[in-house]
Amino acid sequence: MPTPAQPTAVVIATDGTIQGRNGDYTKYLGDLAGVYRDGDAFAAAVAAQGAQTVVYRVEENRVGTGPGALILGTSTVLPGKIGREYALTRGHLHAQADRAEIYYCIAGHGVMVLETVDGQSQALEMTPGVAVHVPGHWIHRSVNVGTEPLVTVFIYNADAGQDYGIIGQAGGMAQLIVDDGQGGWRAEPNPDHKGYQAP
C-alpha cells in the first residue's frame, strides 16, 4: 500500500490569499490577447493600462498527484471591462473531460459561464455563499460583473488538467457577459462562435 499524503490545514482569506499555498500564478492583461471579442478595445486597454496590469490570480494547495488527490485553491478576478465585456478568466475544459469542479464564492459578484461541446449553455450568478457545481464535460469561465474583486474557492481532481485551447478554436464562448447599460449584466450570443469540436 502506498504511503498516504499528510493532511494539511490552510487559511483562506476573503481577498483570495491562502496561508499554506504551494502554488500560484497571475494572469496579466497582455496574457489575454484573443480572449475578448473586441480586439480594438483590448488593444486600447493595453495601451492605456499596460500589458502588466493584473486581471486575475490563482493560489493553490496541492496534496498528492494521483487520481484521488484534490487541488484546493482560490481564483481572484479583479473588476474591469474591455469594451462591453466584463473582466474574465481564460476559461477551460478539463483535459480529463469527465472531471468535475466546485466553485464557492466568498467575495464579490460574478457569473460562471458554462457550455458543453454539444451546444448547452448556462450563465449562473455568483455572490458570497453561492456554490456552483461544474459537472464533467462542461467548459467554464469566471466573469467579474461587480465593482470589487470576485473571489471563489475551487476544488477539483489533481489529474484533471486544463484544455485552454478549446475556447479559442471555437471563436470564443457562445455567450458573452456584457454590460447591459443599466448598471447590470446580461448574457448575449457571441456572433463569432463557430461551435466546439469534441475533445
Q: What is the pLDDT of residues 118-175, one digit of tens each?
A: 999 999 999 999 999 999 999 999 999 999 999 999 999 999 999 999 999 999 999 9
CA angle 144, 149, 151 (to 5 degrees): 85
Specify which residues 169 forms β-bridges with.
Answer: none
Domain that holds residue 27: 12-189
% of the chain at pLDDT higher than 90: 91
C-alpha cell at position 78: 479583479
Q: What is the pLDDT of residues 62-97, one digit of tens each?
A: 988 777 899 999 999 999 999 999 999 999 999 999
User: 196 by DSSP, 3-state: which?
Assistant: coil
Give the type of residue at 110.
Answer: G
> What is the spatial distance between Cα 32 and Cα 83, in angstroms, rounded to a whole number?
14
With beta carbons less than 8 A apart as the criterion, state whether 37 and 57 touch.
Answer: no
Domain membership of residue 194 (yes or no) is: no
CA 196 to chain centre: 18
Which residue is it, cell 487541488? Answer: 71
Domain membership of residue 57 (yes or no) is: yes
Domain membership of residue 32 (yes or no) is: yes
C-alpha cell at position 173: 464562448
Q: How many CB atoms lie within 10 A of CB 10?
A: 16
3-state DSSP helix/strand/coil % of the chain, to nearest 5: 10, 40, 50
C-alpha cell at position 171: 471563436
Domain membership of residue 7 (yes or no) is: no
Q: How many domains does the chain have?
A: 1
Domain membership of residue 152 (yes or no) is: yes
For residue 47, the domain's CATH number is: 2.60.120.10
Domain membership of residue 2 (yes or no) is: no
> What is the spatial distance between Cα 8 and Cα 3, in angstroms, rounded to a whole number?
15
Mean pLDDT for all residues in the chain: 95
